[in-house]
């Protein structure tokens, strides 16, 4: 039996002489690995088909699915959304790479999570269309909302009674905790503001300097690492530090 599902490509590696194995985050089945046959052939029919499997590509697919197998097969595929800028803009592509890597490190099981899929899909589309400020702030927004979809949303908000964000406990508290994983002062306030955003366009109104954005991104990524076992190190994070 075949199923139609959208999928976001996370990575692809060569397989045999003409095929690839693609890791795809799907709407119906969560993260899956697919053998895609013949897309690296030099024939006219196959020319350019490997481009569909660039990381962050959003595809409409018809797939075979067997829960007892680790490797599935893709029968048909086409663009579900065709980027205008993301594949060609170095900065937007770096942000997309971070989002893809963060998702890979955060997902430990293959089960479906449609809301998380829609967050990833919508964030990539907004990144493709967004201005410079939205692009720079999107990694912060995505990291916090990813944590929410994974089940560990922050509790409380910044105010004069709870001016400290305890990253280990995932909540705003009144006093500095006895560990180094916390934000206070302006960093805690801005974190609360970003966490309360419901519309991507609101990111265009948040003006942050390079130092603040770097501190926040480092702390937000640390928050997820504290709550996901065997999280590992993100190679793309250092690139964002340099860019933003």
- For the stretch 110-168, pLDDT in tens is 889 999 999 999 999 999 999 999 999 999 999 999 999 999 999 999 999 999 999 99
Q: Is 123 exposed, middle or buried (0-12, 13-18, 19+ CB in 10 A)?
A: buried
In this predicted structure, the answer to whether residue 42 has a pLDDT above a threshold of 80 is no
Q: Where are the domains of the chain?
A: 1-82, 85-244
In the block, tokens 């959003």 appear at 58
The reply to whether 1-82 and 85-244 are identical in fold is no
- Sheet containing 164-166: which strands, arranged edge to edge? 171-173, 164-166, 182-184
Give CA–CA dist 242/202, Å, rounded.
24
**CA angle, 172 then 178 then 180, to 5°:** 80
- Dihedral, 172, 177, 182, 187 alpha carbons, nearest 10: 60
Do the strands 164-166 and 182-184 form a parallel or antiparallel pair, or are they unpaired? antiparallel
Write down the CATH number for the domain with range 85-244: 1.20.1440.120
Instruction: Judge whether 25 and 6 are in contact, CB under 8 Å.
Output: no
Q: How confident is the model at residue 49 (pLDDT cuts 50, 70, 90)?
A: confident
- DSSP letter for 155, please: B
Q: How confident is the model at residue 80 (pLDDT cuts 50, 70, 90)?
A: very high
Q: How confident is the model at residue 46 (pLDDT cuts 50, 70, 90)?
A: low
In this predicted structure, the answer to whether residue 48 has a pLDDT above a threshold of 80 is no
Superfamily of domain 1-82: Nucleic acid-binding proteins (2.40.50.140)
């Amino acid at each position: 039996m075949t199923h139609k599902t959208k999928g976001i490509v996370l990575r692809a590696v060569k397989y045999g002489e003409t095929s690839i194995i693609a890791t795809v985050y799907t709407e119906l089945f969560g993260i899956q690995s697919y053998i895609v046959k013949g897309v690296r052939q030099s024939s006219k029919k196959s020319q350019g088909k490997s481009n569909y499997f660039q990381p962050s590509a959003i595809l409409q697919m018809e797939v075979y699915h067997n829960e007892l197998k680790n490797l599935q097969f893709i029968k048909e595929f086409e663009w579900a959304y065709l980027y205008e800028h993301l594949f060609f803009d170095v900065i937007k592509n770096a942000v997309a790479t971070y989002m893809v890597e963060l998702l890979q490190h955060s997902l430990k099981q293959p089960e479906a999570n449609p809301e998380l899929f829609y967050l990833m899909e919508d964030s990539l589309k907004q990144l493709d269309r967004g201005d410079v400020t939205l692009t720079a702030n999107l990694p912060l927004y995505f990291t916090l909302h990813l944590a929410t979809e994974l089940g560990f949303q922050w509790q409380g908000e910044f105010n004069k009674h709870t001016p400290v964000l305890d990253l280990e406990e995932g909540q705003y508290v009144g006093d500095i905790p006895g560990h180094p994983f916390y934000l206070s002062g302006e960093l805690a306030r801005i974190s609360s503001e970003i966490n309360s955003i419901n519309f991507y366009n609101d990111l265009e109104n948040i003006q942050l300097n390079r130092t603040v954005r770097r501190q926040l991104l480092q702390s937000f990524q640390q928050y997820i690492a504290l709550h996901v076992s065997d999280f590992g190190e993100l190679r793309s994070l250092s690139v964002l530090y340099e860019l933003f």
